[in-house]
Amino acid sequence: MSDKSYTILVVEDDPAVRNLVSTALESRGYQHLTAATGNAAIASAATSDPDIVLLDLGLPDMDGVDVIRRIRTWSTMPIIVLSARAEDADKIEALDAGADDYLSKPFSVGELLARLRTTERHLGYMAEDAAPQQSTFVNGDLVVDFAAGTVALEGRELHLTPMEYKLLCLLAHNIDRVLTHQYILHEVWGTSQDGDLASLRVFMGTLRKKIEENPSRPRYIQTHVGVGYRMVRV
């Protein structure tokens, strides 16, 4: 349990899932609010200013992705999508619309609480970032010196290609967030052609060989199959 009591807005039209989530949150001492429609969710996000939103994508009155777009017009509050749909396209659309993370239904209470802890850590770092921008990024044994443009692992300087460096910086700046393939391609290559997904995989492979002790079991960069990548705080 965290020192600060976070308020979570649970947006879910299925009463069974809503009750399950509510019970799990109560057991861990979270404050929570609930909404069963997209319009109620937007109103509650605006008036109650929750710390984190858990958002079902399939709502009776509007698409959850539109709820994200609306909230993003005024707030950067973390939004975790709860998706019952098997299609990756919905999760990807939600992430590109500004969701921070997702949970695929059915999920366990343990997974839900783990995702909330990650988001809380991220909120803590966001508060620290209100201080002047750090010019050095440290994650475990990995150090990126943005000012010098250098990367070191366990104190040894790594030689990255310009593309590998850009890719690493993008993931580092967005630590704990799942970045979609499309977003990465747009930010690093300035393109979103599907054909470039192959080059993204190649660069990710060579980057991992340099920063991961065991590239087949990566420690720093997670693969989200069919969705994208996330740098995790180690």
Q: Which residues bind Ca ion (CB under 5 A)?
A: 13, 56, 58
Which residue, 88 or 196, has its beta carbon nearer to Ca ion?
A: 88
Which residue, 55 or 71, has its beta carbon nearer to Ca ion?
A: 55
177 CB contacts (<8 Å, ≥6 apart)?
100, 101, 122, 230
Alpha carbon 61 to its chain centroid, in Å, reads: 26
Residue 146: CB minimum distance to Ca ion, A = 42
Buried b / exposed e over 9-34, threshold 16 CB at 10 Å, is bbbbbeeebbebbbebbeeeebebbb
Residue 32: CB minimum distance to Ca ion, A = 18
Residue 58: CB minimum distance to Ca ion, A = 4
Residue 75: CB minimum distance to Ca ion, A = 22
Q: Determine the residue with CB nearest Ca ion.
A: 58
CA distance linking residue 121 with residue 67, whole number of Å:
24
Which residue, 61 or 129, has its beta carbon nearer to Ca ion?
A: 61
**Closest Cα to residue 2, out of 127, 120, 174?**
120
DSSP 88-106: HHHHHHHHHTT--EEEESS
Residue 59: CB minimum distance to Ca ion, A = 6
Which residue, 58 or 215, has its beta carbon nearer to Ca ion?
A: 58
Rounded (5°) CA angle 63-66-69: 160
CA distance linking residue 44 with residue 33, whole number of Å:
8
Which residue, 90 or 120, has its beta carbon nearer to Ca ion?
A: 90
